[in-house]
């Protein structure tokens, strides 16, 4: 740069551009770190959702397996059998106590489950780290024959009519409601609870 005499002189560099550059680099670094952290959280959440969905799928398969005990060739198909407790199949002829969400307490507390007479082993999942524990209960207040006054049933006689059908309408047979509850346990302490109800004619 020329002075008033026309002589070139050097102006001392003050480093302002360098300071601004460092500030911009710092902002970019912070943004990159935040972006990577956000991506990691998203990937972790997606992985957890996929893992949980896998537990649910395996639990649904377990429910289908347990329900086969009530089919024609199953050990719990006869009412004479389901009128009483069957510990070997984790079956209770009366309604089990539950929490406010309707999950039986014996599935929520291992010590409580150990204190029951249930002896059916847990079902091993598709991988060794997944296990499924189940209980079946008949939605009745007492053991013995399933009565409409003591059990939750899917059908009843039409209002004002009795089972002899004096109203001229066909009265369907009563069917008692049963409940299957499954706890699926996986890696890292993850758990999923599934429940299904079905009916079986008395």
Predicted local confidence at residue 154, as pLDDT: 81
- The model scores a pTM over 0.85: no
Predicted local confidence at residue 71, as pLDDT: 86
pLDDT mean over 3-21:
62
With CA atoms as reference, report the closest residue to 178 among 103, 94, 101, 116.
Answer: 94
The structural domain count of the chain equals: 1
Asked whether residue 4 is domain-assigned, the answer is no
Asked whether residue 183 is domain-assigned, the answer is yes
Asked whether residue 11 is domain-assigned, the answer is no
- In degrees, rounded to 5, the angle at the alpha carbon of residue 181 between the alpha carbons of residues 86 and 119 is 35
- Would you tell me how many other CB atoms lie within 10 Å of the CB of residue 184? 26
Asked whether residue 10 is domain-assigned, the answer is no
pLDDT mean over 133-145:
95
Does residue 104 register a pLDDT over 70? yes
Contact at 8 Å (CB) between 119 and 87? yes
Asked whether residue 189 is domain-assigned, the answer is yes
Residue 155 lies in domain = 33-201
């Amino acid at each position: 740069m020329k002075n008033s005499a026309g002589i070139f002189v050097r102006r001392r560099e003050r480093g302002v551009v360098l300071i601004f550059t460092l500030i911009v680099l710092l902002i970019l670094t912070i943004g990159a770190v935040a972006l990577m952290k956000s991506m990691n959280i998203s990937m972790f959440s997606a992985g957890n959702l996929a893992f949980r969905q896998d537990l649910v799928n395996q639990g649904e398969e377990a429910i289908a397996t347990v329900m086969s005990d009530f089919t024609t060739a199953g050990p719990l198909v006869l009412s004479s059998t389901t009128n009483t407790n069957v510990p070997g199949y984790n079956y209770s002829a009366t309604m089990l106590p539950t929490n406010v969400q309707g999950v039986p307490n014996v599935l929520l507390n291992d010590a409580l489950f150990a204190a029951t007479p249930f002896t059916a082993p847990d079902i091993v999942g598709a991988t060794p780290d997944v296990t499924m524990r189940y209980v079946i209960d008949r939605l009745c207040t007492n053991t013995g024959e399933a009565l409409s006054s003591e059990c939750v049933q899917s059908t009843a006689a039409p209002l004002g009519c009795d089972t002899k059908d004096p109203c001229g309408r066909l009265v369907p047979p009563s069917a008692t409601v049963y409940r299957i509850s499954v706890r699926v346990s996986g890696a890292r302490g993850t758990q999923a609870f599934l429940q299904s109800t079905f009916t079986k004619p008395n």
